[in-house]
Amino acid sequence: MSTTPAVVHLPPRLFVGACLAAALVIAAAARSGAAIPVWLLPVEVGATILSLFLLGSFTYQLEKGALTYGMSLVMSATFAGSAWAQQGLQGGFSSAELRGWLGVLQAATATPAALFHILDELIHLDTMLFILGLAFFVACIAHTRVLEEAAFYLLRRNAGAVLPTVIAITAAVAAASGIFSGVSMIGLAIRTLVIILLLAQAPPHLVRYAVIVCTAVTTVCGMWLAYGEPPNLIMKANLINPATGMPYLTDGFFLLYCLPAAVLTYGCVAWSLRQEIGGLRVDLAKLDVLDANAAAVRFLQAARHGEVLMPVEFAEAHAAERRAHTAGAVGRRGADAGGVCGGARGRAGRTHRRCGGAHAHRRSAGSGAGARGRGAAAAQAAAWPLH
């Protein structure tokens, strides 16, 4: 019988130490006058990108923080060493040069307008602020759970059929990605599709397939407008006609050349979805109240910073208001929670965790120690991811 090999975690401190030593060697070589090869920095960048995948997906793994920061030291030393050698800065800066640089810095920060102009020249501040605004807007949509509410509305209209629901959601996400940026929309799409597939009791490989679908829908299908992808927006902002001051790449350019490719790509995605999830259905009659109202529950969870009160906890939290009715309500709700858990043994792992919290709470309520039940339920709520 074949066994899965154990994951070997490489020591992060040793890797960062080796990267620091390599960076010091490169810096010392550049300081002594040695020429830094032009191809070294691209090779380091490519090796970092490949390592993030290879050392995070297979048997031998390295913490991505250690890999990122360690290779950043090496690449920074290589970049600085190349600039040092190319500019002939082996000698020290003179006092006149230092005063000149200080004067430039003082002029750049003299007024907010001057600072804004310098930042705009360096990092295209207007473009970055536009992307930040899109991300903030999409975050507001995420926290109001509008997409999940629409998904469950479609799911009920389609009598639990997964395919037409997912087709409609991905089409809406593809169109919105061209306006609100695919980078911002991908998180919403992945979360919604995963919830639907888990309710349909889809196998794990289909959940992974949903992540790939969301990537294609928000990137390739979202390139139909300049705002769909940051590279499109950067090209439009940079390629300016000096005579007219207008961009060479207008919105009409992207609609003419990118929209047909986006539509064709979505057609391929829809055909692939039909092959993979065409037979999946969600049995709406067997969903408990939390699963059937997942959007509202997750909104309340976000509003309460991850805590969702169960009925028996809600009754206990308002014991002072209910007074004499509290004991009966707690006992009745505890019995109801036990019945729900007993009938949901075959559901997904998230339902098992919620039921386990209900059993723990019912036991603690029966013994008069409600604090232990609230702790168990809070732990289960914390285990349910918000995003």
Neighbours of 227 (CB within 10 A): 21
Mean pLDDT of 119-148: 75
pLDDT at residue number 220: 87
CB-based contact 62:12 (threshold 8 Å) = yes
Mean pLDDT of 25-36: 85
Describe the crossing of helices 349-366 and 326-342 by its angle, rounded to 10 degrees: 150
* Percent of the chain at pLDDT exceeding 90: 20
Q: pTM (2 decimals)?
A: 0.56
* Measured distance CA(309)–CA(142) in Å, rounded: 21
pLDDT at residue number 20: 95
pLDDT at residue number 331: 62
pLDDT confidence tier of residue 369, bands split at 50, 70 and 90: very low
What average pLDDT is seen over the chain? 76
pLDDT in tens, 191-231: 889 989 988 999 989 988 988 898 889 888 888 888 878 78
Q: What's phi and psi for 74, nearest 5 deg?
A: -65, -45
Mean pLDDT of 85-93: 52
* Measured distance CA(13)–CA(287) in Å, rounded: 48
pLDDT at residue number 316: 72
Q: How far is CA 242 from CA 117, 122, 228, in A?
A: 18, 19, 25
* Measured distance CA(118)–CA(134) in Å, rounded: 23
**pLDDT surpasses 50 at 21:** yes
pLDDT at residue number 169: 92
DSSP annotation of 345: T
pLDDT at residue number 387: 39
pLDDT in tens, 223-240: 888 887 878 887 887 888
CB-based contact 196:151 (threshold 8 Å) = yes
Identify the residue with better confidence: 330 or 354. Answer: 330
**pLDDT surpasses 90 at 268:** yes
State which amino acid sits at residue 41: L
pLDDT at residue number 54: 86
Residue count of the chain: 387
Hey, which residues does 61 pair with through a beta bridge?
9
**How is the chain split into domains, by residue range?**
8-87, 125-277, 308-383
* Measured distance CA(64)–CA(15) in Å, rounded: 11
pLDDT confidence tier of residue 4, bands split at 50, 70 and 90: low
DSSP SS3 for 221? helix
Query: What ranges in the chain are assigned the alpha helix state H?
Result: 12-31, 40-57, 64-87, 95-108, 112-123, 125-144, 146-157, 162-180, 182-199, 204-219, 230-238, 251-257, 259-277, 289-292, 294-303, 311-317, 319-322, 326-342, 349-366, 370-383
